[in-house]
């Protein structure tokens, strides 16, 4: 919100308008891919989980930790495609997530795939 307010005050919505135009292209690109496949499967996070910042951490560290974790998930906040993260394994004692993405209004496909995966075995042992 701070960044959004800054850009509105200093750039009068120019970058927001540009992002809205680019969002249409991003949605079209995912729609094209989902025209050929029922689901997309991606890692939920681009990296292993990092420690939570300490209570006295700087605002810069809080912002860094927040933004380093949204690289794979934020495109679907923009495009509106349904997406779900499912735990699928462990790495050094931390869970790893896989994200399923479907066509608009096709959440049932995600639920069916997630259920099938959950029935395939114990994800903590994969």
State pLDDT tens for residues 53-91. Answer: 999 999 999 888 888 888 899 999 999 999 999 999 998
- pLDDT of the residue at 49: 78
Nearest-angstrom CA–CA distance, 100 and 39: 6
Q: Which segments of 27-119 are extended strands (E)? A: 39-43, 83-91, 94-102
pLDDT at 13 over 90: no
Q: How many CB atoms lie within 10 A of CB 110?
A: 21
In-domain check, residue 22: no
Counted domains in the chain: 1
Q: Indicate whether 17 belongs to any domain.
A: no
Q: Is 97 part of any domain?
A: yes
| Position 10 in a domain | no
pLDDT at 70: 87
Q: Starting from the edge strand earliest in sequence, which strands make up the sheet with 83-91, in order? A: 39-43, 94-102, 83-91
More confident position, 126 or 34: 34
> Which residue range(s) make up the domain with 83?
38-125
Is 74 contained in some domain? yes
Per-residue pLDDT tens digits for 22-63? 999 999 999 999 999 999 999 998 888 788 899 999 999 988
Backbone angles phi and psi of 47, in degrees to 5: -155, 170
pLDDT at 3: 77
On whether residue 49 sits in a domain, the answer given is: yes
H/E stretch holding 78: helix 74-79
Q: Name the pTM for this structure.
A: 0.82
Distance in Å from the first CA to the final CA of the chain: 38
Tokens 């495609």, residue located: 81
pLDDT for the residue 99: 97
């Amino acid at each position: 919100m701070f960044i959004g307010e800054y850009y509105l005050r200093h750039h009068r919505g120019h970058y927001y308008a540009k992002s809205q135009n680019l969002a249409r292209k991003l949605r079209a690109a995912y729609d094209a891919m989902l025209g050929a496949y029922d689901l997309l499967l991606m890692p939920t996070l681009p990296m292993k989980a990092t420690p939570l910042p300490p209570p006295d951490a700087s605002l810069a560290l809080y912002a860094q930790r927040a933004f380093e974790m949204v690289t794979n998930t934020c495109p679907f906040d923009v495009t509106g495609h349904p997406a779900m993260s499912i735990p699928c394994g462990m790495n050094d004692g931390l869970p790893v997530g896989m994200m399923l993405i479907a066509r608009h209004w096709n959440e049932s496909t995600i639920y069916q795939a997630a259920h099938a995966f959950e029935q395939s075995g114990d994800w903590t042992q994969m």
